[in-house]
Amino acid sequence: MARGPVTYLVRFYLSKHKISRVRVFSPNRNFNSSSEPGRLDPINGLYDRVILADSIDGSSSKPDFKRSQFRDFNSLVAKGFVSSVESYEENEKESDDKYDLIEEIGDKREGFAHVASRDPVELYRELRDSVKAAKQRRCDWETMTEIFRCFARSGWASNQALAIYIGASFFPTAAHSFRNFFFKKCPSDFGQYLVSLGPSDEAVKFLFPIFVEFCLEEFPEEIKKFRSMIEFADLTKPHTWYPFARAMKRKIVYHCGPTNSGKTYNALQRFMEAKKGVYCSPLRLLAMEVFDKVNSLGVYCSLHTGQEKKFVPFSNHVACTVEMVSTEELYDVAVIDEIQMMSDSHRGFAWTRALLGLKADEIHLCGDPSVLDIVRKICGETGDELVENHYERFKPLVVEAKTLLGDLQNVRSGDCVVAFSRREIFEVKLAIEKYSKHRCCVIYGALPPETRRQQAKLFNDQDNEYDVLVASDAVGMGLNLNIRRVVFYSLSKYNGDKRVPVPASQVKQIAGRAGRRGSLYPDGLTTTLHLEDLDYLIECLQRPFDVVKKVGLFPFFEQVELFAGQFPIVTFAQLLDKFGENCRLDGSYFLCQHQNIKRVANMLEKVQGLSLEDRYNFCFAPVNIRDPKAMYHLLRFASSYSQNLPVGIAMGMPKGSASNDAELLDLETKHQVLSMYLWLSHQFKEDTFPYVKKAESMATNIAELLGESLSKACWKPESRWVGKPRDEQKRDEQKKEDGYKRPASLIQLFKKKAFERNGSVAPVGHQTVSV
């Protein structure tokens, strides 16, 4: 340890109390940074004696002892907060320094040195037992008022108070009571010393240990309550949540590499060889693909997604979505695909849970290198053996430096044009079909997996006119497509607030769809529509993968339920907020975002009679929170359920395929509602959602209608927010304008260029840059 104020303090304290080991608590350390050494840890830390010190880093060459306070935590021991000694080794070499401290103390405010150096426990007792406060001069009184104002506003004190379970919201009340107590009791020398310090950090730090004593005596109930709250929101050491998995000797194989390098292929070989296996997919679509592929190769395999359970008789294998994987079943081999999704801000917890909790002898992780370091760390904690298999791309991806020069007439057969909004996708499709001979298939997130597959098949098949694909980032994972070249229409997307650059990892993932091994085009190309986007594309492809420092976690229902016991009257959304504010996490984990869940929770607040567990399940239903119709149906489902009525679909089958964008949007919504119905039917008892068969058949028919509609779609896209008030729409548009200026309408742009060239189309050259 560097020699600094703490060293001196420790020497002094050690000699004074004739003890050799203490735990040092530095007020400079943030309460929340749980991995920091020297932090007073309210749950795991057990202390015999704790020293409050100004600095632990030794940055100050001269110790300032008067700004430091000593605390004896024996009173905490008595109350059960502190019960043993944590180690702090005394450094023998420095033992000569122990008397330096004694000399240093009390040089400045000599008259009150006895106050400054006294044990705060004693000071508190003296205050408590004093009958009446000494008379103060008016100016001293004002200074003291200011000092207490300073104390009540001190972020440092509020933060440190957490260590004795005085929560941030209760701190001002406690500080106020402390002030009143002090003013009623304060003896003269005490007050004089405080006034000599003035409204300063020094005064706050002097008062704090006395405040601690005061709180321990005055607010035992509040402390107890906050303490239980913190304990129930404890998400530290998540690997200990799965004792059965911990009892196993698991072997983790990390297939690490870029896109199209054979990671999933190799993991699936082991999966198929195993007696019993599970494949965890990031998407329903990919689970379906694996289900089909594995069964076609003669290995019986079932399918288990949130919406669909297909049991294949005699099967010992299952392809599932990662959220649905069982941590109860025992497997020989498990595959967790796209493991880098552990760091996804919303869904990451599902991958973390699978990695920590799967009971499998062998677990194959497939993904890019971004989470390799953290997987190594986790394996160190779980005690699992880790084997790393590194891969290279089968063929390098080539960047076409010429780009499409802003002209969609330059698309070619086998191109996949990637745009980042539904609106842009339809604009691009319209422009390509209007001004070139190509026909387009489309794939985007709001389409059901069945329709996406149908569109992918249409594009992959060579015997039809559909030779160009226009897709969103939904194409980035899972599908094996015959793509010759990925063309980025733009490299920015709307993040709900403004346009932001697409992250490099996502650009790599999407571009990597070009030139898959075994496809018609094994040599992949990628480029942009506009020349000005090219540099960013190259930069993204060349940029090494970021190293992920934290992966996602989310509490189980049981954890939320325990926590809820502390707050019998708050709403579910408020409960989630409180959990988020108070939960404790280890340094390698973050709490996944849950705004969408809260939006649903708020909507469902008016539904009476739902148990906490029902509410929790309804809140996780797959619903597009920005689609009012879908939200309305979810509310209706929950209301019927809460009244013990059989939940009906209450939605007619559309007459036919869509002939305009409004009808297409309606089909998309209807499918999402049915999908939600099916998902809920698997969460709750069967008889509560009795129309599963009907919902399945309607969903299949609508997916087909969507496919038909897309093949003939040649209309301008509409917004889903038709019902929004005008000024709100305007505000949204304004917001978009502020962050990013969309290129002018594609069609106009195209016409303008064609006019400039007198109708001639620029020949496309192939200057290539290999990355």
Task: Say how many C-beta atoms besides its own lie within 10 A of residue 272's C-beta.
Answer: 18
Number of residues counted as binding ligand ATP (CB under 6 A): 14
Residues 6+ apart with CB under 8 A from 596: 346, 625
Residue in the structure block whose two tokens are 């409050």:
52
x/- track of binding to ligand ATP for residues 515-534 (CB under 6 A): -xxx----------------
Which CB, 265 or 740, lies closer to ligand ATP? 265
Stretch binding ligand ATP (CB under 6 A), from 27-35, 45-53, 259-267, 616-624: 259-267
Residue 395's H or E segment, with its range, is none
Which CB, 75 or 460, lies closer to Mg ion? 460
Alpha-carbon separation of residue 7 from 63, 364, 442, 480, 556 (angstroms): 9, 49, 67, 63, 44
Q: Which residue is nearest to Mg ion (CB)?
A: 264
Find the angle CA(410)-CA(412)-CA(417) to the nearest 5 degrees: 80
String of DSSP letters for 238-289: GGGG-HHHHHS--EEEEEE--TTSSHHHHHHHHHHHSSSEEEEESSHHHHHH
Min separation Cβ 332 and ligand ATP, Å:
21
Which CB, 10 or 456, lies closer to Mg ion? 456
Which CB, 268 or 680, lies closer to ligand ATP? 268
Min separation Cβ 522 and ligand ATP, Å:
9
Which CB, 394 or 691, lies closer to ligand ATP? 394
Min separation Cβ 286 and ligand ATP, Å:
9
Q: Is 340 in the site for ligand ATP (CB under 6 A)?
A: no
Which CB, 264 or 302, lies closer to Mg ion? 264
Stretch binding ligand ATP (CB under 6 A), from 252-260, 426-434, 734-742, 747-755: 252-260
627-655 burial, b at 16+ Cβ within 10 Å, e below that, comes to: bebbbebbbbbbbbbbeeeebebebeebe
Min separation Cβ 518 and ligand ATP, Å:
5
| Residue 457 interacting partner from ligand ATP, Mg ion, none (CB closer than 5 to 8 Å by kind) | none
Q: Is 263 in the site for ligand ATP (CB under 6 A)?
A: yes
For residues 151 and 154, what is the distance between their CA atoms, to the nearest angstrom? 5
For residues 63 and 188, what is the distance between their CA atoms, to the nearest angstrom? 28
Report the amino acid identity of residue 87. Answer: S
Q: Is 484 in the site for ligand ATP (CB under 6 A)?
A: no
Q: Which residues, 356 to 375, sit near ligand ATP by CB under 6 A?
A: 366
CB 5 within 8 A of CB 35: no
Which CB, 264 or 409, lies closer to Mg ion? 264
Q: Is 512 in the site for ligand ATP (CB under 6 A)?
A: yes
Q: Is 555 in the site for ligand ATP (CB under 6 A)?
A: no
Q: Which residues, 606 to 645, sit near ligand ATP by CB under 6 A?
A: none
Residues 6+ apart with CB under 8 A from 618: 600, 604, 610, 634, 637, 638, 641, 680
* Closest by CA position to 588, among listed 263, 237, 137, 227: 237
Report the amino acid identity of residue 407. Answer: D
Min separation Cβ 445 and ligand ATP, Å:
18
Min separation Cβ 443 and ligand ATP, Å:
15
| Residue 695 interacting partner from ligand ATP, Mg ion, none (CB closer than 5 to 8 Å by kind) | none
Min separation Cβ 519 and ligand ATP, Å:
7
Which CB, 238 or 512, lies closer to ligand ATP? 512
Min separation Cβ 265 and Mg ion, Å:
8
Residues 6+ apart with CB under 8 A from 325: 278, 280, 334, 354, 358
Min separation Cβ 325 and Mg ion, Å:
17
| Residue 109 interacting partner from ligand ATP, Mg ion, none (CB closer than 5 to 8 Å by kind) | none
Q: Is 486 in the site for ligand ATP (CB under 6 A)?
A: no
Q: Is 692 exposed, middle or buried (0-12, 13-18, 19+ CB in 10 A)?
A: middle
* Closest by CA position to 624, among listed 478, 473, 447, 471: 447
Q: Which two tokens stand for residue 556?
A: 């189980």
Which CB, 41 or 337, lies closer to Mg ion? 337
Report the amino acid identity of residue 769. Answer: V
Residues 6+ apart with CB under 8 A from 762: 405, 407, 410
CB 402 within 8 A of CB 370: no
Which CB, 264 or 582, lies closer to Mg ion? 264
Q: In Å, how far from its chain's centre is CA 639?
A: 30
Number of residues counted as binding Mg ion (CB under 5 A): 1
For residues 217 and 214, what is the distance between their CA atoms, to the nearest angstrom? 5
Residue in the structure block whose two tokens are 């980025």:
488
Q: Which residues, 639 to 658, sit near Mg ion by CB under 5 A?
A: none
Min separation Cβ 265 and ligand ATP, Å:
3
Which CB, 363 or 619, lies closer to ligand ATP? 363
Residue 335's DSSP bridge partners are: 279, 364
Q: Which residues, 226 to 285, sit near Mg ion by CB under 5 A?
A: 264
Which CB, 29 or 516, lies closer to ligand ATP? 516
| Residue 76 interacting partner from ligand ATP, Mg ion, none (CB closer than 5 to 8 Å by kind) | none
Q: Is 260 in the site for ligand ATP (CB under 6 A)?
A: yes
Stretch binding ligand ATP (CB under 6 A), from 97-105, 158-166, 193-201, 260-268: 260-268
Q: Which residues, 205 to 234, sit near ligand ATP by CB under 6 A?
A: none
> In 71-119, where does DSSP find H-type helix?
74-78, 98-104, 113-116
> In 186-200, where does DSSP find H-type helix?
188-197
Identify the residue among 141, 181, 183, 265 touching ligand ATP (CB under 6 A).
Answer: 265
Q: What residues line the site for Mg ion (CB under 5 A)?
A: 264
Q: What residues line the site for ligand ATP (CB under 6 A)?
A: 257, 259-265, 366, 480, 512, 516-518
